[in-house]
Amino acid sequence: MMFCPLCASSEFLCKHYKSCKQTAGLPRRLSLGLEESGKLWETLNTLSLYSNPELSVIGNVNSLDLEDAKTEKRTINCLVETMVTSKKIVLAKKLNGEPKESDFKIIEEELPALKDGEILVEAVWLSVDPYQRIVESRNPDFPVGKLVCSTLGWRTKSVVDVNKPGDARLPKPYLLPDFKGLPASLGVGFLGMPGNTAYFGFLEICKPKPGEVVVVTGAAGAVGSIVGQIAKIKGCKVIGFAGTDDKVKWLLEELGFDAAYNYKTKDIVEALEEAAPEGVDCYFDNVGGSLSIAVTKKMKLFGRISVCGSISSYNSGSLPGGLELDNGMTSGLMASNNWCSGQKRCRGEDNIRMDLKEIRTNEGDWIQPDHGRDRNTAYFGFLEICKPKPGEVVVVTGAAGAVGSIVGQIAKIKGCKVIGFAGTDDKVKWLLEELGFDAAYNYKTKDIVEALEEAAPEGVDCYFDNVGGSLSIAVTKKMKLFGRISVCGSISSYNSGSLPGGSVYESSTLQQYILANQLTIQRFRVGQWNDQWFDGLKQLVQWTKEGKLKYYETVTEGFENTVKAFIGMLRGENMGKAVVKV
């Protein structure tokens, strides 16, 4: 941190600053803490040490020796270091259930000196996505005094390497763009990460069409409130669920939702039947739990579900169970769609020759897989949904069946590592020796988790699910980031069998709805659209300036109250975006 002796600024490099060096005659010690830095010029002036603009004070001031200074009559350049410290909020202990203020603590840390390309930022607004103001810079693209958005945790100051790339969660630090007169605080919410989460997560996954029915849960939150308004802009009918009557009123009267309900006081099934008797086309899920199960069961054919959050599972709450998809996408398919109607055939542009091995039935009879339905179910259901790439890891359940055996072979043709699960040792042997699977297991005798750890220690990219049940739960938990799941069947729920338990959605019957309605369910992270980040913000700014989007901020004052704001957000006390003014 640099301090100018003329204006004593502790935040910015002023126009008086020039590089200086320590010279002979620098006094030994004068106790001068960081908080006294504003008086530094006055002190130096009194001692008659300052007589030209070359004198600069550079960022761990501790000292000038008063007696020695009095004897020094000539002008000197002095180097006075000022230690830069930051406050940050960390966990005091492991969270257990709903977070409490006592679970966190504020500590101080010393920040390192800047390196070339780095900047020092000071928090102005925090999100509960912070953005900060640049107070020192060694990067010409990030001038002192500008506002920058970045994710650095809850801390008052940070040293940032702005050249580090972003990731799947967020882009790298960026200067706050022109908001056309809108408040800068929107950069951590409405016109920041939450805004783009709503914009891309809804439009890219749900792909809404005019006249379609859209349901949004967590509809009065930072993301949900934007999704609902974008859906209205796109000409959709919008139904929202929130946790208080005041929020419901806001959704209806201010944001223009067509229907809104308090999920704590209104029966969900009854509400959906009332507002969407013919079903739901698009569902933006911020909540999970039993609410999500109810909405999923109301989805229309080819419905699309964008899974953004799972509020119901953040602490122990009133919405147990639910829709869970941590890392990727699930799509249900049935042989009745246009992939098998003659419009597309297996000899498509991939020109894969279906040189597939014969298949044995459960009764031990051998059949040829020449039924177009089985072939096309495997071909299109795997290639169109999973979109496998060479070197990826593919898991197939029901792998020795009519569809699963074809999927596994296509995956091998595409250069993938293939792991199969079947129900007998003979089937496992056939998968390995005849079909060339890389690994295969009898799910009745081999622990599924152990098998996956053994065959796919780094995780699974694509999962073709014919089974459902506890086997599917185990595979889904092993999926990599941006994994793809094609749900073709749910054998475990056809009768009472040896695969008890629900599907990944914690209800074995729910997988039947995904199949019957050929739903697409996709979990996402907004960082996957980093290359379009500013396009999203530009459109959001435009809609807001045109009066098509409205925003609301729940503001908490003071860094020390950040945890309180965070806990309030988890309890649903905020409306719109919860922010902290540092």
At residue 291, does pLDDT exceed 60?
yes
Mapping DSSP to helix (H, G, I), strand (E, B) and coil, where does residue 558 land? coil
Mapping DSSP to helix (H, G, I), strand (E, B) and coil, where does residue 335 land? coil
Which residues, other chains included, contact 243 with Cβ-Cβ below 8 Å and sequence gap of 6+?
Answer: 220, 262, 263, 264, 572
DSSP letters spanning 485-507: EEE---GGGTSS-S--S--TTS-
Calpha distance 487→543 (Å, rounded): 38
**H or E, element range at 274:** helix 268-275
pLDDT on residue 315: 54
Which range in 16-25, 242-251, 515-524 is most confidently predicted, on average pLDDT? 242-251
At residue 204, does pLDDT exceed 50?
yes
End-to-end CA separation in angstroms for the chain: 19
Burial tier of 99 (Cβ tally within 10 Å: 0-12, 13-18, 19+): middle
- Which range, of 141-150, 166-175, 176-185, averages the lowest pLDDT? 166-175
Q: Are 531 and 168 in contact (CB under 8 A)?
A: no
Q: Are 129 and 194 in contact (CB under 8 A)?
A: yes
Report in angstroms the alpha-carbon separations of 131 from 59, 158, 189, 552, 579.
Answer: 23, 11, 10, 18, 11
Burial tier of 113 (Cβ tally within 10 Å: 0-12, 13-18, 19+): middle
Calpha distance 453→82 (Å, rounded): 52
pLDDT on residue 374: 64
| Domain architecture of the chain: domains with CATH | 1-83 (no CATH), 85-176+552-581 (3.90.180.10), 330-504 (3.40.50.720)
pLDDT band of residue 57 (cuts 50, 70, 90) is very low
At residue 149, does pLDDT exceed 80?
yes
Q: Are 129 and 578 in contact (CB under 8 A)?
A: no
Burial tier of 485 (Cβ tally within 10 Å: 0-12, 13-18, 19+): buried
Tokens read off for 14: 């002023």
Q: Are 237 and 212 in contact (CB under 8 A)?
A: yes
Q: Are 236 and 214 in contact (CB under 8 A)?
A: yes
Q: What is the pLDDT of residues 75-111, one digit of tens each?
A: 333 434 456 889 998 888 887 878 888 988 999 988 8
- Section 275-304 average pLDDT: 93
Q: Are 156 and 87 in contact (CB under 8 A)?
A: yes
More confident call, 251 vs 506? 251
Q: Are 331 and 205 in contact (CB under 8 A)?
A: no
Taking alpha carbons only, the member of 299, 320, 464 closest to residue 392 is 464
Calpha distance 564→556 (Å, rounded): 9
Q: What are the start-end ranges of the H helices in 390-520?
A: 404-413, 425-433, 448-455, 469-476, 508-516
pLDDT on residue 328: 52
CA angle, corner 335, sides to 329 and 338, nearest 5? 85
Hey, how many other C-beta atoms are within 10 angstroms of the C-beta on 78?
A: 21
Tokens read off for 243: 């946790």
Tokens 């022109």 sit on residue = 178
Q: Is the dihedral of CA 10, 11, 12, 14 positive or negative?
A: negative
At residue 196, does pLDDT exceed 90?
yes
